[in-house]
Amino acid sequence: MSRLIVVSILWLTIPTALAAQTRPIVIGSKTFTESYLLAEMMAQLLESRRIPVERRTGLGGTLVAFQALLSGEIDAYAEYSGTISQVILNMDSDSTEGELAAALAPLGVDLLPRLGFNNTYALTVTRETAAQYALGNISDLTDHPELRFGLSHEFRDRPDGWPGLKQAYDLPQDSSGIEHGLAYQALLESEIDVTDAYSTDGDLLRYDLVVLEDNLEFFPSYLAVLVARTDLDTDAKEALSLLADRLDDATMRSLNAEVVVEERTFAEVAGAFLLGQGLITSVQAETQSLWPRLGRNTLVHLKLTGIAVLLACFAGLGLALTVYRSPSLSAAVLYIAGLLQTIPSIALLALLIPIAGVGQVPAIIALFLYSLLPIARNAITALLTIDPLLRRVAVALGLTEIQQLRHVYVPLALPHVLTGVRIAAVVSIGTATLAAFIGAGGLGEPIVTGLALNDTGLILQGAIPAALLAVCAELFFEGLERWLIPRHLLSAKISG
Amino acid sequence: MSGIIEFRAVAKQYGDTRVFDDLNLDIRQGVTTALIGPSGCGKSTLLEFINGLQRPDAGTVHIFGQPVPALELAEFRQRIGYAVQGTGLFPHMRISRNISLLGELDGWSREAIRSRTRDLMALMALDESLENRYPHQLSGGQRQRAGICRAMFLRPEILLLDEPFSGVDPLMRRDIHRRFLTLLGAEIATVVLVTHDMEEATRLGEELIIIDAGKIVCQGQADQIQPDSEYLAKLFGHGDPS
């Protein structure tokens, strides 16, 4: 029992100690190259002025990023005028910047001056497809209903995306959803024929893709702007405003291409650009090399899963002890916990955004909910299957209810409970990689970035440590079982 | 003659099966009483009335001159030792802790716990080297003796034994009986022993109560009851119950 307490205390204090740091200015990004690149420019601009910066990149979508801004999880990120007007504010696509700024102000968000380029949506096909079907503009698509459209999820759902486009051009095709990071690959492998792209996307150069002209001028303008929290430090805002009108379409596309085609890092490309513009005096030494970044991501990952699993231990065990005497309550608890388990993790994370915002808190809540089932189920089963003779003896010897639990039931249930915790921990380590989509960081961060860049190496930087971590967790719990539980109870589990 | 344990007009029914109906019984202090009868006769239920594991549907059970309490049962039960068939030793505790758990919970000093454990183990001929073993590492007979040590730890005023010696080979059982009588001599407690074995009953019991189908068939001192009487022979099948 005392060993159990030692383990719990250590488990609680280590992540808390790691988390206790002063809060720098947090720059966010969404999950595509340009957003990462602009975030890196913002970060380096601030760092060159000795303002501490934290990068929370790879937020999974507009609403996640904007919600993060509103809740203070991030302080600034790059957004587009058309996205702000239609997706965030539900305003007309031709709203002026003044109107947008006025609408954002009550939300505590400032619209900083525009960056100069217009990154609107575009439809793109391979050069071969363009030649084969004689495609030059979007209207040309109407004659070829057999063309397969694989569109990014966000584009398919936006009023200024696929639904409006299909209507405006009277397109006969249906579309299927695809992760944007995988779309070009699918295009090149002829899995799909048409996908959406951003007009400044460096991949357009990389894969030699043809952009179909928006001949009906359906797509609204998406002027790049920076949005920042109103309460952001004035010096920081001034520094960020230096980027105003520095980037035109061609510049942005070629910077994007430097990342995706030449495989230079965001930091290198952003630093070189800022230096060229005279906005910084020297390129910072590479902000973070592989190992420190890996270490930090691993620690965050451990923190997310550690706190979630520990909380689930307390809740699951408490729940089990409360309900195990009543078969109907036990069944109800297991049913509800089982139901939670069936919610797809990415959907659960999304559902949590309105309630818990973005960042580590909702990630921990989601992992906690997933961990509850294996722990509660194993604990309830263990308590229900304790030898009735041992129960009778514990009662008859004159042990109080608390003493029965503490000295007999809980120790006897421990092997099963630990198995539940072990399962919960290993599953959590895997699921936690998805938490990067809501800005929680961890080993999912390189995976998300790698997906955005179509960079297998980067994906592996997240995937391999996550797999190793899962193996380590297995070994850790095996050791813990050996330490806490007499050997004969491990093999036989619970018996008289 | 009233006893330390008094059953008055006790009735108990499980579903449609009536186990007891107006049972009256006194169990005397300082004496080993053996309750004998075929399985299903209700003798174990009688034992469980005494420590409150079960409650009669009607009638009263008085212990120490008081009815079995409804509350504070834990404290009450600590005055009543309990050892059962299959021992119910806790598999996650070493033998010494199994035996001394009640002393630990009662706040005894480390030294008192240690010396009491050693004394009991010596009385029951359990070698000191067994202290740090787990129950599964002991023989069946050793486990049963450890179970009795545990029941005796707090020097209970009453010791309840529910077939604690069954399932061991006869030679071993005779040895355990001898040890047990030694322990009784040293500790002097009121003992209620439930058994279906006439030989065991006569060897250990000073007073015998024979129960069949919820009724007391015969009660008396061990030497006054003829184990080979016609009735008992019918009841127990030539004195060999197994």
Q: Is A62:A352 a contact under the CB 8 Å cutoff?
A: no
- Contact between chains at A496 and B80 (C-beta distance less than 8 A): no
Q: Give A496's contacts in chain B (Cβ within 8 Å).
A: 86, 88, 91
Is pLDDT of B242 > 50?
no
In the prediction, which pLDDT does A11 show?
A: 65
Chain A with chain B: Cβ pairs closer than 8 A = 64
A399 contact B CB<8A:
yes
- Contact between chains at B82 and A399 (C-beta distance less than 8 A): no
Each residue of A68-108: pLDDT tens digit?
898 888 999 999 998 898 888 888 877 888 999 999 999 99
- SS3 category, A116: strand
Q: Give A408's contacts in chain B (Cβ within 8 Å).
A: 90
Measured CA to CA, the distance from residue B92 to residue A255 in angstroms comes to: 66
Measured CA to CA, the distance from residue A245 to residue A257 in angstroms comes to: 20
Extended strands (E) in A8-166: 25-30, 53-59, 76-80, 109-118, 121-126, 149-151
- Contact between chains at B102 and A396 (C-beta distance less than 8 A): no
Q: Give B51's contacts in chain A (Cβ within 8 Å).
A: 396
Phi/psi of residue A21, nearest 5 degrees: -140, 160
Which parts of chain A have pLDDT scores under 70? 1-23, 284-288, 491-496
Identity of residue B126: L
A408 contact B CB<8A:
yes
Phi/psi of residue A483, nearest 5 degrees: -75, -40
In the prediction, which pLDDT does B71 show?
A: 75
Q: Is A307:A14 a contact under the CB 8 Å cutoff?
A: no
Strand partners of residue B58: B11
**B contact set with A (CB within 8 A):** 51, 53, 73-78, 80, 82, 84, 86, 88, 90-92, 101-102, 105, 134, 136-137, 150-151, 160
Each residue of B6-51: pLDDT tens digit?
999 899 888 888 888 888 888 988 889 999 888 777 888 889 999 8
- Contact between chains at B80 and A398 (C-beta distance less than 8 A): yes
Measured CA to CA, the distance from residue A89 to residue A102 in angstroms comes to: 11
Q: Give A393's contacts in chain B (Cβ within 8 Å).
A: 82, 84, 88
Nearest-5° Cα angle at A279, A276 to A283: 65
Burial, A184: exposed, middle or buried (Cβ in 10 Å; 0-12, 13-18, 19+)? buried
- Contact between chains at A396 and B77 (C-beta distance less than 8 A): yes
Mutate to test the interface with B, among A3, A386, A389, A397 (most CBs of B within 10 A): A397
CB atoms within 10 A of CB A261: 14
C-alpha dihedral sign at A157, A163, A165, A171:
positive
- ipTM attached to this prediction: 0.89
Closest Cβ opposite residue B134 in set A392, A395, A488: A488
In the prediction, which pLDDT does B235 show?
A: 59
Measured CA to CA, the distance from residue A198 to residue A35 in angstroms comes to: 11
- Contact between chains at A397 and B101 (C-beta distance less than 8 A): yes
* CA dist list (Å): A101 to A96, A106, A107, A239, B198: 9, 9, 10, 19, 98
In the prediction, which pLDDT does B99 show?
A: 96
In the prediction, which pLDDT does A75 show?
A: 94
pLDDT band at B75 (very low <50, low <70, confident <90, very high): confident
**Minimum Cα–Cα distance from B74: chain A residue:** A398
- Contact between chains at B82 and A393 (C-beta distance less than 8 A): yes
Average pLDDT value over all residues in chain B: 85
- Contact between chains at B86 and A407 (C-beta distance less than 8 A): no
Q: How far is CA A345 from the centre of its chain?
A: 11
- SS3 category, B24: strand
- SS3 category, A370: helix
Tokens (6 digits) for A288: 């973070």
0.90 exceeded by pTM: no
Is pLDDT of B1 > 60?
no
Q: Is B95:B130 a contact under the CB 8 Å cutoff?
A: yes
- Contact between chains at A397 and B77 (C-beta distance less than 8 A): yes
Closest Cβ opposite residue B134 in set A397, A399, A486: A486
- SS3 category, B57: coil
- Contact between chains at A400 and B74 (C-beta distance less than 8 A): yes
Nearest-5° Cα angle at A414, A412 to A415: 100
Phi/psi of residue A204, nearest 5 degrees: -60, -40
Collect all residues with Cβ–Cβ distance below 8 Å to A123 and sequence separation of at least 6: A138, A141, A165, A194, A195, A196, A197, A211, A212
pLDDT band at B109 (very low <50, low <70, confident <90, very high): very high
A488 contact B CB<8A:
yes
pLDDT band at B241 (very low <50, low <70, confident <90, very high): very low
Measured CA to CA, the distance from residue B200 to residue B177 in angstroms comes to: 8
CA atoms within 13 A on the CB side of A208: 4
Closest Cβ opposite residue A389 in set B88, B150, B151: B88
* CA dist list (Å): B109 to A403, B113, B156: 18, 6, 18
In the prediction, which pLDDT does B175 show?
A: 83
Distance from CA of A264 to the nearest CA of B (A): 60
Collect all residues with Cβ–Cβ distance below 8 Å to A221 and sequence separation of at least 6: A81, A82, A118, A120
Extended strands (E) in A127-182: 149-151, 175-177
- Contact between chains at A411 and B92 (C-beta distance less than 8 A): yes
- Contact between chains at B84 and A393 (C-beta distance less than 8 A): yes
